[in-house]
Each structure stands twice: as structure tokens, then as C-alpha cells.
């Protein structure tokens, strides 16, 4: 079933709720929506878990708002879903910016009902290069991407998709076309503003406050969120456990879906 969760006056999130058992909350990447996890949703439900897939504001079937795309506001959105659905003993799975949002949420709320997190190619602690942090894109490169999206949304996202998949995996053109269409269902406002948040947010202080098991799964060929992101998290978070997936790009959820699905069930059960 799908829930409509109110986040502000006349604005609602779309939340997919499938199966029974321990709830697993999935946070999607930019600029997709929760449907990107359909292979993971099928697998966790078949293994006795409850899939909770949130479309962030401005993405998927959620409403588009004029503002509220900073990490702090989206963490509040996530908590509203947790509260509305009365989730207990839940687990969060976050991909890319969803991984960064997972970290922000855990740091801000420190919810005792959050048991653990699993991060797939997380876009944190910072998506862009900073002082003492030479990894990822440069801030001005993200600004150029934002300007390109504002000028020609389909072309900019299609061009960006060229680095999404690893050349070492055999992903069909049909799936690449499908995923590209999926991302283009997102609003222009949401796509631009969340990209700006990726550029501007820095979680290096936030992650030091997180005291729960965090399992990182990262592709060694990730050209969007380099594996150094997870290696930095491993250095600074005592409970961060990194699993490297060889020959996987940023789209490891599809490129290596059997491996990822097996790891998900392994970590969910720990």
C-alpha cells in the first residue's frame, strides 16, 4: 500500500509500504525515487521484512515544495514518516544522497528505535572537495551541473548518467534507458535544490555523534561517490564496517543486485 504523509500545509510524501516483519526504511538517491529499489524491495519482503520506501519531497510521487531540500529538513521529513507509521526497531538503508541523509537523520534524532543503518555508495561525509578532504567533485562542477539542469533538464541528467554505471558490468541499454526515464520523473525544483544541498552540506562533524552499527557497501569503480567517501567514514566512525564490491559502479544496486541483496539480508539479520 502507499501512504501519504503530511510534511507541511498541502504537501505530502509518498511512502510505499509492502510486507510484514521488521521495518526497513529505504532512502533513495538523486535524482531518482524509491522505485529504484524494486529489486531490493522484492528481496527483503520475500525474506520476511517490511519494505518502507520514501519518495523525498520533489521526487517520485511526493509533492514538490518551494523549499525544504536541505539535509536538516529532509531528516525532519523522515522522522515524520517514522512517527506517522509508528515504526519500532527499524533499520535504514540509504543509497547515495540517501546515505548522507541517513547519517544526518541518525545524528539529529538519535532515535532509540533505529537499530542500524546500511549505506550503499553513500554521498558523505561530503559530496564535494573541501579543506582536508580531496575527494569527489569540486563545488563549481556541481554548480555547473545545476546550471545545465536548469537549462536543459533531460540532456543534463542523461549526460550525468554516463558515469552512473561501471564499464566493467554488463547493464543492458534497456535498463539504462528505463532508469534515465525514472530519474526524469523528478521535479526540476527538487532536482536542482537537492543537487545544491549535495554541494553545500558537510557532515564531517555530524558523523562523530552516531553510535550504532553502520554497514557501508561501496563499489570499487564508483565514479559518482568515490569509495574514498566510505573509507573516510570508516576512519572517523568507530562502528562503520565497510564492504567493498569489486567491479561495481555507483549503480551497484542493479549491477551487482544479487551480491547486494545477499549482503542486505546478512546485515539486516545481524
Query: Which residues are identified as catalytic?
Result: 96, 222, 250
Report how many helices (DSSP H) and strands (DSSP E) the chain contains, helices first: 10, 8
**Look-up: residue for cell 559502479?**
249
Largest CA distance in the chain: 47
* C-beta atoms surrounding 154 within 10 Å: 12
Using only C-alpha atoms, the chain has a radius of gyration, in whole angstroms, of 17
> Measured between alpha carbons, how far is 181 from 46 in angstroms, rounded to an integer?
27
Termini Cα distance of the chain: 28
Query: Across-strand partners of 217?
Result: 120, 243
The span from the CA of 73 to the CA of 53, in Å, is 18
Amino acid at each position: 500500500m502507499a501512504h501519504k504523509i503530511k510534511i507541511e500545509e498541502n504537501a505530502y510524501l509518498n511512502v510505499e509500504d509492502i510486507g510484514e516483519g521488521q521495518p526497513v526504511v529505504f532512502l533513495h538517491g538523486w535524482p531518482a525515487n524509491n522505485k529504484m529499489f524494486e529489486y531490493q524491495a522484492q528481496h527483503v519482503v520475500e525474506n520476511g521484512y517490511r519494505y518502507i520506501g520514501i519518495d523525498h519531497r520533489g521526487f517520485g510521487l511526493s509533492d514538490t515544495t518551494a523549499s525544504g531540500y536541505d539535509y536538516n529538513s529532509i531528516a525532519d521529513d523522515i522522522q515524520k514518516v517514522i512517527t506517522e507509521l509508528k515504526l519500532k526497531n527499524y533499520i535504514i538503508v540509504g543509497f547515495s544522497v540517501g546515505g548522507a541523509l541517513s547519517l544526518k537523520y541518525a545524528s539529529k534524532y538519535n532515535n532509540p528505535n533505529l537499530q542500524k543503518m546500511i549505506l550503499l555508495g553513500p554521498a558523505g561525509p561530503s559530496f564535494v572537495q573541501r579543506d582536508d578532504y580531496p575527494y569527489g567533485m569540486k563545488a563549481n562542477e556541481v554548480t555547473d551541473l545545476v546550471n545545465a539542469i536548469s537549462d536543459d533538464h533531460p540532456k543534463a541528467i542523461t549526460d550525468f548518467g554516463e558515469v552512473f554505471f561501471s564499464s566493467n558490468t554488463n547493464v543492458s541499454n534497456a535498463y539504462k534507458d528505463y532508469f534515465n526515464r525514472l530519474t526524469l520523473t523528478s521535479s526540476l525544483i527538487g532536482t536542482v535544490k537537492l543537487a545544491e544541498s549535495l554541494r553545500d552540506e558537510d557532515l564531517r562533524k555530524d558523523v562523530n555523534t552516531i553510535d550504532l552499527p553502520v554497514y557501508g557497501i561501496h563499489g570499487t569503480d564508483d565514479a559518482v561517490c568515490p569509495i574514498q567517501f566510505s573509507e573516510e567514514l570508516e576512519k572517523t566512525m568507530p562502528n562503520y564496517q565497510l564492504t567493498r564490491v569489486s567491479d561495481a559502479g555507483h549503480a551497484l544496486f542493479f549491477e551487482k543486485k544479487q551480491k547486494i541483496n545477499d549482503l542486505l539480508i546478512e546485515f539486516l539479520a545481524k
